[in-house]
């Protein structure tokens, strides 16, 4: 595993044709009163590097610089949120893929960590793959690891993935407990288990859903570092398997 930004031009030219370039895609947005704005990016970057390390010796994975600002207009009314427009984000993702292809990579994977980006990374991958004539994949880590997360109990305490609730609070406590500030307790929070994946059978947009309230989907105080470590291990295992399959080694 290597970070693209730490490689020389010669090293990239040598490794790129046989490697997979992974691009973490995140967001910079409010995550309740208790989690850092970069939670989604922090998790995506960790999963990318940890999955790459797990594949060392069988698949060369190079982690590219992250796309840090995602599609987050639904969080702007609450505050402390940066957002890219649809066209801007699609263009940036496609141009990152084009740059990696020009550097010699023939396989590029967009690893998403933010719900608002979920459809857009797939569209960007489809467009880039068709235009550049290389293999481009995309996936949101919790979708790629859905079955593993269910087995790890990730729907037992709150929504999966939810927003700044028990699940994401657990991940943050496992990764950067120093950045978590007194997770609030919201007793009696109701949440529905989602048996059909992230979007279910169809998607309904509710423009005012995040415009009021406290900016989290379920009880953050239900999250624990122990749970977070278990969830992260499940995610890394699933994403590593997904990258192996994407690379054509299964």
> Which domains, ranges and CATH numbers included, belong to the chain?
14-190+206-243 (3.40.50.10310)
Cβ atoms of 28 and 68 within 8 Å: the answer is yes
pLDDT of residue 245: 97
Please choose, from the candidates 48, 23, 37, the residue with its C-alpha nearest in 3D space to the C-alpha of residue 168: 37
Q: What is the pLDDT of residues 48-57, one digit of tens each?
A: 999 999 999 9
In whole angstroms, what is the distance from residue 11 CA to residue 171 CA? 34
pLDDT of residue 191: 57
Assign 31 to helix, strand or coil: strand
Q: How many CB atoms lie within 10 A of CB 129?
A: 18
pLDDT at 157 over 60: yes
pLDDT at 207 over 70: no
DSSP state for residue 190 in the 8-state scheme? -
φ/ψ (deg, to 5) at 43: -70, -45
Q: What is the pLDDT of residues 20-49, one digit of tens each?
A: 999 999 999 999 999 999 999 999 999 999
Residue 220: both structure tokens together: 């953050």
pLDDT at 166 over 60: yes
Q: Which residues have CB under 8 Å from 212's CB, separation 6+?
A: 77
pLDDT at 14 over 70: yes
* Cβ-count burial 74-89 (b if 16+ within 10 Å, e if not): bbeebeebebbeeeeb
pLDDT of residue 250: 42
Instruction: Please give the model's pTM, rounded to 2 decimal places.
Output: 0.95
Residue 79: both structure tokens together: 């505050």
Q: What is the pLDDT of residues 61-117, one digit of tens each?
A: 999 999 999 999 999 999 999 999 999 999 999 999 999 999 999 999 999 999 999
In whole angstroms, what is the distance from residue 207 CA to residue 74 CA? 7
């Amino acid at each position: 595993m290597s970070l693209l930004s730490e490689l020389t031009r010669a090293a990239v030219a040598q490794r790129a044709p046989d490697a997979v370039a992974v691009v973490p895609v995140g967001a910079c947005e409010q995550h309740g009163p208790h989690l850092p704005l970069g939670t989604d990016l922090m998790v995506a970057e960790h999963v990318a590097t940890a999955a790459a390390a797990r594949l060392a010796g069988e698949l060369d994975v190079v982690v590219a610089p992250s796309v840090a600002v995602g599609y987050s207009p639904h969080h702007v009314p609450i505050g402390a949120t940066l957002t890219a427009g649809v066209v801007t984000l699609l263009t940036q993702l496609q141009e990152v893929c084009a740059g990696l292809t020009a550097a010699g990579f023939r396989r590029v994977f967009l690893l998403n960590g933010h719900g608002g980006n979920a459809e857009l990374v797939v569209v960007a991958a489809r467009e880039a793959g068709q235009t550049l004539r290389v293999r481009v994949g995309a996936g949101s880590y919790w979708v790629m690891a859905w079955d593993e997360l269910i087995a790890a109990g990730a729907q037992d305490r709150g929504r999966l993935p939810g927003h700044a609730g028990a699940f994401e609070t657990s991940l943050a406590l496992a990764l950067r407990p120093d950045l978590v500030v007194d997770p609030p307790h919201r007793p009696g929070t109701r949440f529905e288990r989602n048996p059909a994946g992230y979007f279910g059978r169809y998607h309904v947009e509710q423009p005012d859903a995040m415009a009021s309230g406290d900016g989290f989907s379920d009880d953050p105080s239900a999250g624990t570092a122990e749970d977070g470590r278990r969830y992260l291990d499940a995610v890394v295992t699933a994403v590593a398997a997904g990258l192996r399959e994407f690379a054509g080694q299964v």
